[in-house]
Every structure is written in structure tokens, then in C-alpha cells.
Amino acid sequence: MYKRVIIKVGTNVLTRPDGRLDVTNISHLVDQIAGLKARGISLVLISSGAVGAGRELLTVDDSFGDVARRQVLSAIGQVRLMELYRQLFAGHDLLCAQVLATKGDFRAGLHYDNLHNCFRALLQDQIVPVVNENDVIAVTELMFTDNDELAGQVAKMLAVDALVILSSVDGLYDGPPGESGSHLIREVAAGDQSVLGFVQEKKTSFGRGGMATKLRIAAQTAKAGIPVLLGNGRRRNILTGLGRDQWPGTIVK
């Protein structure tokens, strides 16, 4: 049984096809996370979705560049996203705490120590730390590839028992997901480069990363002794069986 986990939830789990927040699915995820907390599992939630939430509230003029547009949408959307989490977790008598980070915070030094100490203080029974990249100031060299990379860094910082990465697919397939003849690969060794040949180039609609990024981060994290569980965040009750023998996705270890 895993006692300390990082759960990363991607944009396409949190939003509908039109890019607006999928409140129903977010609520279901919060219910599952609250259930894990009730079982005594210590966890951190890495949540995308700020830009999507901002897109729901505001149409940014085309005169803005891509970086400025992302900054504006994330600044507005992060407030909306955290308010939703606050309300949903409050229904389970839990508090949520916002933690925004950049790549520079994980370089050795004072920022790293401060962030580490912050997480340690927040990992109390009634608190769920909700982490996202600080898109308002994270540009160029300060940017993570996506929140998968951020999740891997937090997992290693806290030396957790497992990292769970939830997207809109069940895991790694040996062919195009959803097509006849494609099979889910249940387990991947951290050093197995051959599986990269199965990765499809297509990304989901609103996310920044893709399966190639997930496998790269999963391999790096698994080599540090932390298994990575890839799964479908839209599968009902996917987190309920966390730590049991059969994970309904791909495990990299």
C-alpha cells in the first residue's frame, strides 16, 4: 500500500472538449482524493487547468502574443480553479493550499529548501496541497516542459512511494489507442527504450505534453526508485484501487 503519493491531473481530465472546466469530473476526482486522505494516505495534487479556466472566463485579444495570452489566462484562471477546489474539498472537511512553482525553484539553494519546507508543513491530515506551474512568471528557461515534469520533481523532492499521472488515455498502447488490435502495455521497465517506438505523436487537444513526455519523466522518476502509474483520469474510481495489485493502466518501474 502506498502511503505517500503525488497525483498529477492533466488538462484534458479537467476540461470538456470545448475547453471549459468539467466540474463533474473534477468533483469526482476530489471525492476520490478525499477517500485516500481518509485512509491515511499523504498526498500532493499537481493540477493543470488554470489556462483552461481562464479561457472560460475571458477571450484574450489576438494582439497579445502567445506568452502574454498564457500569462493573462493563467492569472485569471488560477483563481477560478482554486476556488472550485476550495469549495469541493470543503465538502469533505478538507482545506486546500495553493503552491505555484517554477523550474528555478528546484535548483539547489534557498528556493529549493524553502519549497521543501513548505511542503513538509502542508502535509497535514486536513490539507491538500494543490500545485501548478506559475505560468504568470514562468517563461523561456523558467518553464517546465509541462506539469508532468513538475510532478516528477515534486515526487523526487518528497521521496514519495508513487507518482500517479492521470490523462485522458489508459496508458501506453502498442498501437493507436482505441484502434482494433492495439493493446495496453501494463508494465514498462524504467530503462526500456524500445517502448518509445509505440508512442503516438498526436497530443490531446489542450495539454502541452504528450505520451513521449510522460514516458521520459516516468523513466527518470522510476530510476530514482519511485514507480509511476499512468492512467485515465476519466475512468470512474480509478484512484480507489491505488496500491492494490491491479492498476488499470501502465506502471513504469
Would you list which residues are annotated within the binding site for substrate? Answer: 48, 135, 147
Annotated binding site: which residue ranges?
A: 8, 48, 135, 147
**Phi and psi torsions of 117, nearest 5°:** -65, -35
**Phi and psi torsions of 134, nearest 5°:** -80, 80
Annotated binding site for ATP: which residue ranges?
A: 8
Strand order in the sheet with 4-9: 95-101, 127-133, 42-47, 4-9, 162-167, 228-232, 250-252, 187-188
How far is residue 121's CA from residue 116's CA, in Å, rounded to a whole number?
A: 9
DSSP states along 10-79: -HHHHB-TTSSB-HHHHHHHHHHHHHHHHTT-EEEEEE--HHHHHHHH-PPPTTS-HHHHHHHHHHHHHH
- Reference 251, options 224, 222, 213, 223; nearest CA is 222
